[in-house]
Amino acid sequence: MKIDILTLFPGMFKGPLTESLIAKAREKGIISIMVHDIRSFTKDRHRTADDKPFGGGPGMVMKIEPVHGALKKLGCTGKKGKKPLVIYLSPQGKPFDQQKAKDLSKKKHIVLLCGHYEGIDERIMKWVDLELSIGDYVLTGGEIPAMAVVDAVSRMIPGVVKEAGSVENDSFYGGLLDCPHYTRPAVFEGMKVPEVLLSGHHKKIEEWKKAQVLARTSKRRPDLISRKKKA
């Protein structure tokens, strides 16, 4: 899978993309991730990527020319079906969830566009295929949401996570939360690991896990139970 990220602040991605599973997946060639500085597509010596909004108002707006130039270089301004999927990270977008991560992991090439300031000149939406939000709150820019999308989508790509079962048992993968997990020592300050997990009885352990998944989801996210019943 190929992922291109368009941002005004490329330095923000150095840590998240060079550590842990993402770094290993890039080294193995499972995913290709490139970060592009939108300012490199400006035409003036000051590398101006923002301007005052027409009609007045506070803040600044990202200019259309450099963003369009970046999209054009990546082949995003051509005919639909022959170009990458362009995703704009915005608080006004559709909620990003596990199902969308699964869907995006099947794409060959996606481009993540990071907004900033008051947003991007609305005319750029002509070349945007999908607008996504990671929550009902406002961040400084689209960089952190882009990192979240890259991480969540990458986990869904075969080979990125060593054990496929780890992904399939994650919270939200099947629409519910994950069960509790324990490791050594079996007793810590008087707190014991549930006996069933030490029994070696695989059937009973699986039954316990399923019961815990339902109990935990019902208590913490009952909305997921309702959604599961409607599906």
Domain shared by 35 and 65, yes or no: yes
**Catalytic annotation, pick one of 26, 47, 53, 91:** 91
Tell me which of 129, 155, 181 is where a domain ends: 155
**Do 198 and 166 form a contact (C-beta atoms < 8 A)?**
no
Mean pLDDT in runs of 10 for the chain (231 residues)? 98 95 96 98 95 94 97 90 92 95 97 95 96 95 98 95 69 80 95 96 95 94 86 67
- CATH code at position 215: 1.10.1270.20
Asked if residue 178 is part of any domain, the answer here is yes
Q: Tell me the pLDDT tens digit for each residue of 201-218.
A: 999 999 999 999 999 999
Long-range contacts of 96-100 (CB under 8 A, 24+ apart): 96/132, 96/133, 96/134, 96/145, 96/148, 96/149, 96/152, 97/172, 98/152, 98/170, 98/172, 98/173, 100/132
Q: Please choose, from the candidates 130, 108, 112, 104, the residue with its C-alpha nearest in 3D space to the C-alpha of residue 38.
A: 112
What are residue 89's DSSP bridge partners? 114, 132
**Catalytic annotation, pick one of 4, 50, 66, 155:** 155
Using the CB atoms, write b or e for 43-65: b if 16+ within 10 Å.
eeeeeebbeeeeeeeeeebbbee
For position 208, what pLDDT does the model report?
96
Helices (H) and strands (E) in the chain, counts: 8, 9
- CATH code at position 8: 3.40.1280.10
Domain shared by 90 and 189, yes or no: no
45 part of the active site = no
**Catalytic annotation, pick one of 97, 151, 170, 178:** 170
For position 171, what pLDDT does the model report?
59
**Residue 176: strand, helix, or coil:** coil
Instruction: Identify residue 59 by its one-letter amino acid code.
Output: G
Asked if residue 21 is part of any domain, the answer here is yes
Burial class of 137 by CB neighbour count within 10 A (0 to 12, 13 to 18, 19+): exposed
65 part of the active site = no
For position 172, what pLDDT does the model report?
65
Q: Tell me the pLDDT tens digit for each residue of 118-149.
A: 999 999 999 999 999 999 999 999 999 999 99
Task: Give the range of the structural domain holding residue 47, as residue numbers without chain letter.
Answer: 2-155
Domain shared by 204 and 177, yes or no: yes
For position 175, what pLDDT does the model report?
84
51 part of the active site = no
Q: Report CA 90 to chain centroid distance, whole Å.
A: 12
For position 165, what pLDDT does the model report?
64
**Catalytic annotation, pick one of 118, 129, 131, 151:** 118
84 part of the active site = no
Q: Please choose, from the candidates 61, 69, 84, the residue with its C-alpha nearest in 3D space to the C-alpha of residue 36.
A: 69
